[in-house]
Amino acid sequence: MTSEDLLDRHRAVMPAWLALYCDRPLELVSGSGSRVTDSEGTTYLDFFAGILTNMLGYDPAEVREAVQEQIGRGVVHTSTLYLLRAQIELAERIATLSGIPDAKVFFTSSGTEANEAALLLATTYRRSNSVIALRNSYHGRTFATTAVTGNRGWSASSLSPLQVTYAQGGYRFRSSFRELDDAAYIAACVRDLRELLDTTTAGDVACMIAEPVQGVGGFAVPPDGLFAAYKQVLDERGILFVSDEVQTGWGRTGEHFWGIGAHGIVPDAMTFAKGLAGGYAIGGVVARGDLMDCLSANSISTFGGNPVSTVAAGAVLDVVLSRDLQGNAAKLGATLLTGLRDVAERCPLVREVRGKGLMIGIELVGPDGYAPDAPAAARVLEETRARGLLVGKGGLYGNVLRLAPPLNLSQAEADEGLEILTASLETVDRERRS
Ligand SMILES: Cc1ncc(COP(=O)(O)O)c(C=O)c1O
């Protein structure tokens, strides 16, 4: 069975909107550490790690052993009708790590469900279905979460259980306020938020939901302090703030354990998923106790926080915290940002290199220095693949390369990835100019 046969079968039976990377899509069949091998026997350094989810790379021993031990006991599922020790312990840790006062945690199996849960809590608490989201956001694939997704390419339906208005600010590079300096940019965004609340809502808004660094939106980073300034306005009006930490949590941004830490505020709720269990399915919401407890009906997630995922998550957190992987993300992120900014100096194709920690976006533009160049991003993916490196892409127009390697990446792997990226970007830049 070749990859081509498998691709034909994929196309026949999978949805057309389930996008695959590369001209010849890969089947990844085995892995160890930051490296993964495809069905043709080629091994790659992986700088996208299952979309930030294989947070400790492939087959970390600590996680494998914890999962094997749980499976060995014969219990992979009991439902939440019974006490789940690993789930309770994980909730206690996340509640403490969140910094949210009297925090409680509800586990789901995905980030989408986590955001659904947070939106259910906020809209019930505030008795309003009015929500502020950000332009260029991504929050999931269900009706409520696509409704708060401010990205045409990922919002497949206009049907919505929510009244959503989109604030400015997440994606500075293509914002109407892009020429302003940090302080002026924040002031303009805040003025716009006030105007938006006064003109486009009935006033009783439930919450703002935002990603501290927009993930699918191309690792777009607003100036530090934007969300603190937004929260001041929200607090004046009793509006809740939900930070979507699905991509930014667990120290990935290097500076802080949660992405929102860069803004010096504690949200009313945070949602998480992706890397927490190193690839096992888990998501959740951590919220102020009174907010979490506001539902007057029962609610349950059958698979959310199941014994296998929660022991895996406990093992992942042990490694992240005991080995200071947040510090590693800060250190290696700085290496990559510096190296890539050097490349940007000599390659006009690369207009902006941005990010925090091991969450780096490379915005590629046309000869005018501004028009998004999505075909160039696709070309770079082919070039890095040919040289043995997997990277991601995204952004509102599909023209942003995304780097999000495992948090336990080594210095040597960071250097190797940087070398491949440099050669690949230079090749595509040269091609375009010839
Ligand atoms: C910021 C953010 N929120 C929510 C989600 C949805 O998570 P899931 O795909 O696990 O449903 C994603 C997925 O990419 C995400 O990046």
Look at ligand 1, atom 3, and give the residue with the nearest C-alpha.
139
139 CA from centroid of ligand 1 (Å) = 5
Ligand 1 environment, Cβ below 6 A: 110-112, 115, 138-140, 211, 215-216, 244, 246-247, 273, 283
How far is CA 267 from each of CA 122, 200, 285, 359, rounded to the nearest angstrom?
Answer: 12, 24, 12, 21
Which residue type occupies 89? E
Query: Which is the closest atom of ligand 1 to the Cα of 248?
Result: 1
Token duo for residue 121: 């809590």
DSSP label at 105?
E
CA-CA-CA-CA torsion sign (337, 250, 273, 141):
negative
**pLDDT tens digits along 223-238:** 999 999 999 999 999 9
Say what the pLDDT of residue 254 is.
98
**What single string gives the DSSP state of each residue in 170-191?**
S--TTSTTTTS-HHHHHHHHHH
Tell me the CA–centroid distance for residue 283 and ligand 1, in Å: 9
Residue closest via CA to ligand 1's atom 8 equals 111
Four-point Cα dihedral 57, 62, 67, 72, nearest 10 = 140
Ligand 1 site-directed mutation target among 137, 138, 213, most atoms within 8 Å of CB: 138
Mean pLDDT of 190-218: 97
* 214 pLDDT tier (thresholds 50, 70, 90): very high
Atom index in ligand 1 nearest the CA of residue 145 equals: 4
Residue 367 pLDDT > 70: yes
The residue among 154, 187, 156, 186 whose CA lies nearest residue 170 is 186
* Alpha carbon distance 45, 178 (integer Å): 35
Per-residue pLDDT averaged across 253-267, rounded? 98
**If you take atom 7 of ligand 1, which residue's CA is the nearest one?**
111
Which two three-digit tokens encode residue 14? 């999978």
Q: Which residues contact 415 (CB under 8 A, 6 or more apart)?
A: 335
Percentage of residues in the chain having pLDDT higher than 70: 100
The rounded percent of the chain whose pLDDT value lies above 90 is: 98
Atom nearest to 211 CA in ligand 1: 1
Distance of CA 227 to the CA centre of its chain: 17
**Which atom of ligand 1 lies closest to the CA of 214?**
1
In the predicted structure, residue 19 carries a pLDDT above the cut 80: yes
Q: Which amino acid is at 361?
A: G
Mean pLDDT of the chain: 97
Ligand 1 centroid to residue 140 C-alpha, Å: 5
Q: Tens digits of per-residue pLDDT, 292-348?
A: 999 999 999 999 999 999 999 999 999 999 999 999 999 999 999 999 999 999 999
For residue 278, what are the β-bridge partners? 280
CA distance 412 to 293: 47
- The full 3-state SS of 179-228, as one line of letters, equals CCCHHHHHHHHHHHHHHHHHHHCCCCCCEEEECCCECCCCCECCCCCHHH
φ/ψ of residue 236, rounded to 5: -55, -30
- Mutating to test ligand 1, I would choose from 137, 274, 309 the residue with most ligand atoms within 8 A of its C-beta, which is 274
Which amino acid appears at position 114 of this protein? A
CA of 51 to the centre of ligand 1 (A): 9
Residue nearest atom 9 of ligand 1, based on CA coordinates: 111
239 vs 1, higher pLDDT = 239
Does residue 1 have a pLDDT over 70? no
Task: For 30-83, write each residue's pLDDT tens digit.
Answer: 999 999 999 999 999 999 999 999 999 999 999 999 999 999 999 999 999 999
Q: How far is the CA of 113 from the centre of ligand 1 (A)?
A: 9
pLDDT digits (tens, 9 = 90+) for 279-289: 999 999 999 99
Query: How far is the centre of ligand 1, averaged over its atoms, from the C-alpha of 404 (Å)?
Result: 14
